Structures are given as structure tokens and as C-alpha cells.
């Protein structure tokens, strides 16, 4: 046998074995159970992507509660008890005023515009700055995205703004502060806690996700009125949080591979949501007795007016919110030159 060839093959075997031995394993908690289509499978899809292209790092997916509860993921990643989390910044609205601006902005950017601000303007730098200035030891990467959610599931039809007064409703992020302005009492519940709360009457209504995801959770069994459009979440960004020490220990190739996997996940997560929700809407109506409702203009006007009040109040009391909100508004003013000229109007 050619000894030079044998030596090369032996060296290659040792090198491959060495790479496998040196592989880092990151435990990743997800805010969403893998049983949930689109929303829950996004974290699983990211893990599949990164594990298929990386030899330096491997991710292991855990459902909510297996490592930490959904609403404790940020603290767990920051203190190093969990390596990473697939979640959304809107869950940290109670911790940091500007968090919701990096998740979903009421009456704000749709997916293309949101991603443009995040990736090619100042959004991502402001996003990381928010965590840094609040003392969280995390590195953030946008890692999933989808288009508007439904505006909510209600047990009773909403015929006037007065019908919102006194409702108890599960609501997310900045939109929750808007609903509070209109007399709704809001609470932030993890996905698995919503149906039991509806069932026992602890809440009268809920928003959570897209029609297909909400159907999997069975909201239609109790709340038959599903409202659109999703004014509170025209686009939603999902984040990969990695403990900063763990991130900085990775070699540049592994970091780049994680970034590539997350960029790919942005595309597939968005496309899956666009593809699978219209059949779910038809099924909700035809098989589950759901009534699809569109908010009348006076409702949307009231929601938007309340949102602008909320934004002004948050900007007045939180410097980072003010900075981020001003930056986003400036970007949107410029983007409007493109948007208002290039896209065809969509017939209703």
C-alpha cells in the first residue's frame, strides 16, 4: 500500500475524530412547544439546520418547562444555567420597555420592512445594546419571522369599544399596553396555559399566534369569534439568545454557521406561515364553527390612537425606547418612498 496515502488517510481520520471530540453541545430551551406548527417547529428547524452544517457546535432542543419555564429563559441564558433560548423579545416587555420594538410593533413594519431595519439599518445594533445596557449576558440573533397574527379570539362578538371594557384577555408585548388603554385587563400567559384559562373563565379572550397554531391549541372550542387584521403584530421576530461567554468561546466558523442557520430559518419560518394558514382559516370556519371578523375602521383608529399614546409615554420615561422608536420612525419615513411607489395595491 502507498505509505504516503496511508499516512494521509490516517491523519484525516485522526483529524475528523478530533473534530467530533471537540464539538460543543448547546442546550437550547424554546419558548414554544415543538407540537405547535410553524411557531414551535421553528426552533426545531433551526436545530436541524445548524446540526446539519456544523462540526464545531451542536444544539439540543428542549420544550418549555423541560429546562426552564418560557418566561424565565432570558435570565437562565444570561446566568449560564441554559446555553441558549429560542424565544421572542416581546416576552421581556415587563423587564425592558424597548423589548417589544424588537419583536412586534403595533401598526408597525410588515416582515420585509422589519427585516430591512433589523439587518441593514440600526435595528440589530440597538437590539444587542438593549440587552447589554440592562446587564444581560446574552448574544442575540434574529432567527425566525412571520407575518401578522390574528388579532384575537373572543367568546362574544365585539360590536363597540364599550364591549372591550372590563374584559380579561391574554395579550402579548406592546399590544397589551394598547388594550389596557382601552379598558382591557391583560395578562401574559405561555401557550400551554391559555386554553385552561379560557376554559375556567380566568380570561374572556386571547390572542396568541396564527390560525393554524391557535387551532392546534383549541381556542375555537371556547371562543368562536376570530378577529383580523393583526394590528398588534404586523410582523414578529423570533430570537436566538446565546449566553455571551459561550458565544465568545466559539471559533469564528461556528459563529458564522449559527448566523447562516438563523438567516435560513428566517426565510423558511416566514414561508411556512404564508403557506399553511389560509387552509387553517377555511377549516376553522367550515369544521369548527368559527366566525371570522374584520375590525371596523373605528376600532383600528382607536387601537392606533391608543398605541401612539403608549409609544409617547414609553419614550418619555425610557431613554432606550425613545432612541429605538426614533430610529425606527426615521427608517420608516425613508422606506415609505420605496414602499409607496414599488408595490401594487392589493384588492380586498
Q: What is the mean pLDDT of residues 260-289?
A: 97
What is the model's pLDDT at position 193? 95
Q: What does the pLDDT average to over 32-36?
A: 96
Other CB atoms within 10 Å distance of the CB of residue 190: 17
Give CA–CA dist 261/44, Å, rounded: 12
- Position 53 scores a pLDDT of 97
Computed over every residue of the chain, the mean pLDDT equals 93
Does the structure show a pLDDT above 50 at 207? yes
pLDDT interval class at 345 (50, 70, 90): confident
CA distance 230 to 207: 9
- pLDDT over threshold 70, residue 19: no
Question: What is the model's pLDDT at position 213?
Answer: 97
How much is the pLDDT for 5?
A: 36
Please compute the mean of the pLDDT values over residues 160-183 and round it to a whole number.
97
**Quick check: 147 and 270 in contact, CB under 8 A?**
yes
pLDDT on residue 23: 85
What's the CA gap between 170 and 153, in Å, rounded? Answer: 10
Average pLDDT for 24-31? 97
Contact (Cβ atoms closer than 8 angstroms) between residue 277 and residue 212: yes
Per DSSP, the three-state class of 268 is helix
Encode burial over 143-166: b for 16+ CB neighbours within 10 A, e otherwise: bbbbbbbbbbbbeeebeeeeebee
Give the pLDDT confidence of 59-92 residue by residue, as tens digits: 999 999 999 999 999 999 999 999 999 999 999 9
Mode of pairing for the β-strands spanning 225-228 and 152-154 = antiparallel
- C-alpha distance from residue 175 to each of 74, 108, 180, 303 (Å): 21, 11, 9, 9
157 CB contacts (<8 Å, ≥6 apart)? 163, 225, 291, 293
CB 147 within 8 A of CB 276: no
Share above pLDDT 70 across residues of the chain, in percent, rounded to a whole number: 93
In which band, very low, low, confident or very high, does the pLDDT at 22 lie, cut at 50, 70 and 90? low
Question: pLDDT at position 24, please?
Answer: 92
What is the tens place of the pLDDT at every residue in 117-165? 999 999 999 999 999 999 999 999 999 999 899 999 999 999 999 999 9
Q: Are 152 and 210 in contact (CB under 8 A)?
A: no
Phi, psi of 166 (to 5 degrees): 85, 0
Is the pLDDT reported for residue 3 higher than 50?
no
Average pLDDT over residues 318-343: 97
* Mean pLDDT computed over 25-32: 98
Amino acid at each position: 500500500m502507498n505509505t504516503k496515502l496511508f499516512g494521509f488517510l490516517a491523519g484525516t481520520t485522526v483529524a475528523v475524530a478530533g473534530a467530533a471530540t471537540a464539538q460543543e453541545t448547546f442546550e437550547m430551551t424554546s419558548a414554544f412547544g415543538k407540537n405547535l406548527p410553524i411557531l414551535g417547529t421553528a426552533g426545531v428547524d433551526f436545530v436541524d439546520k445548524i446540526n446539519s452544517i456544523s462540526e464545531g457546535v451542536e444544539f439540543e432542543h428542549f420544550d418549555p418547562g423541560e429546562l426552564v419555564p418560557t418566561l424565565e429563559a432570558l435570565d437562565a441564558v444570561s446566568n449560564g444555567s441554559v446555553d441558549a433560548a429560542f424565544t421572542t423579545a416581546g416576552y421581556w416587555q415587563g423587564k425592558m420597555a424597548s423589548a417589544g420594538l424588537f419583536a412586534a410593533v403595533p401598526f408597525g413594519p410588515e416582515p420585509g420592512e422589519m427585516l430591512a431595519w433589523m439587518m441593514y439599518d440600526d435595528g440589530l445594533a440597538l437590539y444587542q445594546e438593549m440587552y447589554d445596557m440592562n446587564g444581560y449576558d446574552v448574544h442575540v440573533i434574529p432567527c425566525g419571522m412571520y407575518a401578522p397574527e390574528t388579532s384575537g379570539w373572543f367568546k362574544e362578538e365585539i360590536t363597540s369599544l364599550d364591549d372591550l371594557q372590563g374584559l380579561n384577555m391574554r395579550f402579548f408585548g406592546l399590544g397589551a399596553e394598547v388594550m389596557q388603554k382601552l379598558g382591557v385587563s391583560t395578562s401574559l400567559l405561555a401557550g400551554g396555559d391559555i386554553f385552561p384559562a379560557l376554559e375556567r373563565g380566568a380570561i374572556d379572550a386571547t390572542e396568541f399566534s396564527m390560525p393554524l397554531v391557535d387551532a392546534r391549541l383549541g381556542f375555537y372550542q371556547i371562543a368562536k369569534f376570530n378577529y383580523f387584521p393583526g394590528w398588534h403584530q404586523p410582523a414578529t421576530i423570533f430570537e436566538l439568545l446565546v449566553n455571551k461567554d459561550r458565544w465568545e468561546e466559539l471559533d469564528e466558523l461556528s459563529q458564522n454557521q449559527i448566523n447562516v442557520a438563523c438567516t435560513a430559518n428566517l426565510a423558511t419560518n416566514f414561508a411556512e406561515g404564508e403557506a399553511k394558514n389560509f387552509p387553517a382559516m377555511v377549516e376553522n370556519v367550515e369544521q369548527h364553527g368559527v366566525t371570522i371578523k374584520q375590525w371596523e375602521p373605528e376600532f383600528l383608529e382607536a387601537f392606533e390612537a391608543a398605541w401612539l399614546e403608549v409609544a409617547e409615554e414609553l419614550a418619555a420615561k425610557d431613554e432606550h425606547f425613545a432612541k429605538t422608536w426614533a430610529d425606527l420612525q426615521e427608517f420608516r419615513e425613508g422606506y415609505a418612498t420605496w414602499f409607496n411607489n414599488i408595490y401594487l395595491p392589493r384588492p380586498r
